[in-house]
Structure 1
Amino acid sequence: MLSVFDKGPFAPCPTPFNMAAHVLAAGQATPDKIALSILKPTGAERWSYAKLTAAILGTARGLLDQGLTPGQHVLMRLGNTVDFPIAFLGALAAGLVPVPTSAQLTAPEIEKMSKVLDLACVVRDETTPCPELGIPAFDQETLHLWRDLPAADYHFGDPERLGYIVFTSGTSGVPRAVGHAHRAIWARQMMMEGWYGLTPDDRLCHAGAFNWTFTLGTGLMDPWTMGATALVPASNVTPDQLPLLIKRNEATIFAAVPGVYRQILKQPNLSFPKLRHGLSAGEKLPQSILSAWQEATGTPIFEAYGMSECSTFISTEPTTTDLSDGYLGKPQVGRRIAILGDDGPVELGEPGQIAIHKSDPGLMLGYIGAEEETKSRFQGDWFTTGDLGAMESDGRIRFLGRNDDMMNAGGFRVSPVEVENALLQHPAISEVGATDIEVKEDVRLIAAFFVSSEPLSESDLQDWCAEHLARYKQPRIFVQLDALPKNPNGKLLRKALRDIPRNTH
């Protein structure tokens, strides 16, 4: 049998459609319910659904009053404040195309990225870097005044029209502008049961910043779509303060990248009486973190796999009983997913590239200003992710690493994830990145770069790897670092490892 998961398509997106209207619809039934709490050790800033909706539609009115018209691009250069989701949904409500960007990007980076956009204006604060772009710029004071304006009407239209633009993280090269349709939010409903187990009664706490798309989707828009409550720590909250905030604010679901779970696990006596489970995305969740979290809290972590071009579409979920190492989970019902070889889907169990059918409602419209690169990502009717996996007969997918991250050791292809997971089981190692390095022409060796609480000798590490990995998978080079290279979203930059001086231990 071929490695294709297809249990039928998801319900079609209604038309006409507006993403912001969809996100805020459930809250109309409970206008006084708390939609958002911004958590601080000293208390919380709370927004009801009525207050949030008024601010968003007032912002939509403010943008339209500047002469902007539906379809124009609005650059967002805002820090980790509630201004970010209000401006994002306000632009969408008005039919404009918001372009959310990380506050950590520099002005030159933003200037380079802006060249592929048709920007009409920028909304910005005083502290987030932003170049002079020769377009109107609206500051936070103006944004706050717009919140009190009369509500604009939602701009309804074709769900296939451009809704918003995000930039890829750049882990595979130059960041690309990813154009998503308004229907992208409709597709996220497949996550509600396929990953979240989210209900209107939930209180979902997300540890990320407002201006990160993982937080914007999982931490804010998806809870609001369900009429639930979103809990987001304030920008000055540190990881050691998160356990208290999760407990005090009775979070029922907690979402974060694996690194945040690792930091929380350093705290003693973790107790979350209301917590049902955690959610993880952004990078592969190490089995060591999953096991330690379950032991410390008595709750599981459900993992999801996705990307800027299609959000999360493979996941484990609250009915999962097998959380064994190496599996991403299953494609969410409504998705059509395949594992591809050079000639199409491979046989079950065989490795290949994870791919999404072009009909997926969550798949991007394309890369803005890069039509040829968009075409290059398709193999027939399948969008290729650049990640390798293998599908079991029950639909579970084992993650084998990035296609361009796969290492070659003596003719054997080795997944860096497998090497990293083996080293992460070492009690003194907290982070690790693996790659292969060319030491002389046509000779490549596996290298492990790691962060440790104590010095580790090469012989100790070799002995450890000998116990956990086949010989051809064992690193021959070990480099201890104070920190691994990561992008602004905290993802490991494996390609950057090859440029680090190799003073081996």
Structure 2
Amino acid sequence: MAAHVLGRARATPDKVALSVLSATGSEDWTYAEMLAAVRGTATGLYEAGIAPGQIVLMRLGNTVDFPIAYLGALAAGIVPVPTSSQLTERETATMIADLSPAAVLRDPEVASAPGAKEITLEELRAMRALPPAPFDMGNPDRLGYIVYTSGTSGKARAVGHAHRAIWARQMMFDGWYGLTANDRLLHAGAFNWTYTLGTGLMDPWTAGATALIPEPGTDPARLPALLKRSHATIFAAAPGVYRKILKRDGKLDLPDLRHGLTAGEKLSRELHEAWEAATGKGLYEAFGMSECSTFISSSPAHPARGDALGQPQKGRRVAILGTDGPVPQGEEGTIAVHRSDPGLMLGYLNAPEETAARMSGDWFLTGDQGAMAVDGQITYLGRSDDMMNAGGYRVSPIEVETVLATFPGITQVGVAEVEVKADARVIAAFYTAPQPLDEAELKAFAEANLARYKQPRAFIHLTELPTNPNGKLLRRALRAHFPEVTQ
């Protein structure tokens, strides 16, 4: 995978591969410098005693160190596990127990649990100057990297992907991005977010383009100025970032920008229209998940029609399934991807039964509902379970409820995604207790035990939670109680 991503380095060694943008300038990395840093890191990981096939858990911050360490591990045939720096010690302890990693790649400023050998950020940076290791080439179907996703069971699940997953990403170049070697793609996300890692870094490098990343902590209000100053031709962000930009700015003068990209959560028609009105540029949406790379999208060559997401990218096999197989065009069913897709996961690590449960014959069931029109365009119709979406991160309500249930005084708790205003959603916790609990203490407890994107933004005390006749919690019914409390 790493050899594929940096394959353009020999042809264009002096071209800028990455610019980290600040208010006053940029930190630039050429393709030659990036290649040397990645291959030197591979040498360093070998010298640290880590062998091909072993796992390293990444606990690094929002800096260029993250993609260098990630690709360095891949270059050495070592299996990296990228994780959000927002995870708490408690959450990483579960991962370490689950993975038994050979090492944790650790920035001391990022929380991590004990229990594994650590390679420090200082040691990782020193590795870049080492002689380059040869790329560990092998079977493209072998385990390449692991990402974590929250499942409906409430336990974060380790999703194993093969090296071949990088091939699937090329279908996005025309099917979503409209990406060429001449582009300068600015991604608004953090280095250590998988959306940024793929769309913002690896894909531009694979195409021989230039990746632009704002420095950590950049205010969204500054992004239009950075887009203009850096001559960005493509902008990628989650819908929430577009929303913040448009809240502060009217017309946007971005002469070099060709279009925008968005993914992570459903894009509303109002936000889409507002962006196009402010910029005069198109905005193209995509749909994917941790278990499979983005596979449905609109693009400059094939814009979405009406409320549709777009269509399956060329080379993808996508179906809408009912209980007895594919449903007629126009009818609702579960969005499914064929098992032959190179971007589809190898499976959930050490969980063959859970992996099998997601398959229906030759089809992987996404758990998302949709309908396909006669022209192939797919309309998204929501989740078939209670999974929440917090700023582009999928979050299991059970995972959050399990943590909050340990807070003293809570007798029952349920969480749900609620709409606080038009086109803005947050996670809210509804709980029962003999009397209302101190909200500041509840928020502090959540902050100490849950990653920020999993933390409820509101805590609502109820005399009882809605349940079905069998006593099972009805999470979708919780939303009805939110306006009653906040009005």
In which range does the TM-score fall when normalised by the shorter chain? 0.7 to 0.9
> Equivalents in 2 of 1:321, 1:175: separation in Å?
35
- The residue that corresponds to 1:472 in the other structure is none
Displacement of 1:451:
3.1
- The residue that corresponds to 2:296 in the other structure is 314
- The residue that corresponds to 1:233 in the other structure is 214
Displacement of 1:449:
3.2
Pairing partner for 2:181 from 193, 200, 213: 200
> Equivalents in 1 of 2:275, 2:419: separation in Å?
24
- The residue that corresponds to 2:230 in the other structure is 249
Matched, 1:23 2:5: yes
> Equivalents in 1 of 2:267, 2:208: separation in Å?
28
- The residue that corresponds to 2:58 in the other structure is 76
The one-letter code of the counterpart of 1:388 is Q
Question: Where does 1:491-502 land on structure 2 (aligned, <5 Å)?
Answer: 498=478, 502=484
- The residue that corresponds to 2:436 in the other structure is none
Displacement of 1:354:
0.2
Pairing partner for 1:44 from 18, 21, 26: 26
- The residue that corresponds to 2:110 in the other structure is 128
Displacement of 1:266:
1.9
Q: What SS does the corresponding residue of 2:337 show, helix, strand or coil?
A: strand
Structure 1 vs Structure 2 CA RMSD: 2.6
> Equivalents in 1 of 2:306, 2:20: separation in Å?
34
Matched, 1:399 2:369: no
Verify the 8 A CA contact 1:212 1:489 in the aligned structure 2.
no
Size of the aligned set, in residue pairs, is 418
- The residue that corresponds to 2:325 in the other structure is 344
Q: What SS does the corresponding residue of 1:51 show, helix, strand or coil?
A: helix
Displacement of 1:490:
8.6
Matched, 1:449 2:430: no
Question: Where does 1:369-408 land on structure 2 (aligned, <5 Å)?
Answer: 369-405=350-386
Instruction: Render the CA deviation track for 1:392-427: whole Å, top value 9, x for unaligned.
Output: 111100110001259xxxxxxxxx99xxxxxxxxxx
Matched, 1:279 2:249: no
Residues 29 and 172 of structure 1: CA distance in aligned 2, closer, same or farther (over 3 Å)? farther
- The residue that corresponds to 1:9 in the other structure is none
Verify the 8 A CA contact 1:178 1:367 in the aligned structure 2.
yes
Residues 55 and 205 of structure 1: CA distance in aligned 2, closer, same or farther (over 3 Å)? same
- The residue that corresponds to 1:189 in the other structure is 170
Pairing partner for 2:38 from 46, 56, 65: 56
Gaps of 5+ in 1: 1-18, 407-415, 418-434, 436-445, 454-484
Q: What SS does the corresponding residue of 2:270 show, helix, strand or coil?
A: helix
Question: Where does 1:334-483 land on structure 2 (aligned, <5 Å)?
Answer: 334-405=315-386, 449-451=419-421
Residues 171 and 451 of structure 1: CA distance in aligned 2, closer, same or farther (over 3 Å)? farther
The one-letter code of the counterpart of 2:125 is H
- The residue that corresponds to 1:153 in the other structure is 134
The one-letter code of the counterpart of 2:275 is W
Matched, 1:292 2:274: yes
Pairing partner for 2:200 from 204, 219, 227: 219
Displacement of 1:174:
2.1
The one-letter code of the counterpart of 1:253 is I
> Equivalents in 1 of 2:110, 2:93: separation in Å?
13
> Equivalents in 2 of 1:129, 1:317: separation in Å?
39
Verify the 8 A CA contact 1:337 1:356 in the aligned structure 2.
yes
> Equivalents in 2 of 1:447, 1:238: separation in Å?
25
- The residue that corresponds to 1:91 in the other structure is 73
Verify the 8 A CA contact 2:304 2:377 in the aligned structure 1.
no
> Equivalents in 1 of 2:456, 2:265: separation in Å?
8
Percent identical among aligned pairs is 59
Verify the 8 A CA contact 1:169 1:487 in the aligned structure 2.
no
> Equivalents in 1 of 2:70, 2:384: separation in Å?
33
Gaps of 5+ in 2: 390-396, 398-415, 424-446, 458-473
Q: What SS does the corresponding residue of 2:345 show, helix, strand or coil?
A: coil
The one-letter code of the counterpart of 1:292 is A
Displacement of 1:140:
1.2
